[in-house]
Amino acid sequence: MKNIVVPIDFSTQSEYAFKVAASIAKKHKAKLYALHMLELNEALISSNEGAQMQHTVFLIRLAEKRLAAFLDKPYLEGVEIVPIIKHFKVFSEISTVAKENKADLIVMGSHGSEGLKEIFVGSNTQKVVRHSDIPVLVIKDDTDDFEPQQMVFACDLKEENFHTFKQAKYIAEIFAAELRLVYVNTPGDAFLSTKEIQEKIVAFCDTVGFDLLVAIYNDYSVESGVINFAMESHADIIGIPTHGRKGISHFFLGSIGEDVANHSTLPVVTFKI
């Protein structure tokens, strides 16, 4: 764990995320990239008119001042921080910044979104989860010292999740947390018998090369099953794969990973399939 990107919008939630990122950085001597997105209008940025150029410079200078004040915190002492200010859409640029700086993790704060806002707009955090190729850690609450003891990783035991399991195992080791796997069994077409699930577990273990204990949890939906199992097992963090669906596919199919990250009160780390 060498480089961590933390998007900052000066909200309480981004403060929570930065505290967690700082805690991780101190333990692993990682570098923090404090990213603030101005989201300026493209016409304003590309304009050659004097007044608009001056206004753009003023906004950038103001953002630099606010970011410097935001980063002047006692809990950041001893942490190497690189401030970055970008413009345009937050959810599309964060992945670019992460790739440019070879980031291992993105840490974001979120208060979640509900109802029609969730369906038609979604939070910036959901959009980052959807676009990011590296793990995204979503933080909801204030935490002074991030030390998760148990991490639940929800998995459907399909071949496409071999890579995400290895990522989850790595993240659990970084956090020094016990990793517990869970398979959520739901009614309807997705229902499997105990024998069928056990066969999937054996095949999954043979492929990844580990003898794993996988819990089987029954619930009406995968999302509720993951959250309920995590709460009942007193987990500190949830890990879950996401397909990163976009466009019309995302509208009709959605993403369980995004939904869990949005609705869970526990920290959630997502892994792109």
Segments making up each domain of the chain, as ranges? 1-146, 147-273
- Asked: is 1-146 a CATH 3.40.50.620 domain? The reply is yes
Q: Is the pLDDT of residue 72 over 60?
A: yes
- Across residues 147-162, what is the average pLDDT? 92
> Poorest-confidence range of 12-16, 52-56, 234-238?
52-56
What is the rounded distance in angstroms from the CA atom of residue 269 to the CA atom of residue 195?
30
Which residue, 40, 36, 114, 34, is CA-closest to 82? 34
Q: CATH topology of 1-146 equal to that of 147-273?
A: yes
Contact status, residue 112 vs residue 199, Cβ threshold 8 Å: no
Write down the mean pLDDT value for the chain.
85
Give the residue-averaged pLDDT of 204-208.
90
* Residue 79 CA: distances (Å) to CA of 1, 3, 76, 102, 145: 14, 12, 5, 18, 14
Using CA atoms, how far residue 14 sits from 140, 189, 212, in Å, is 9, 40, 35
For the stretch 104-150, pLDDT in tens is: 999 999 875 554 343 333 467 778 888 889 999 999 999 888 999 99
pLDDT band for position 190 (cuts 50, 70, 90): confident
Report helix, strand or coil for 1.
coil
pTM value is 0.86
User: CATH assignment of 147-273?
Assistant: 3.40.50.620
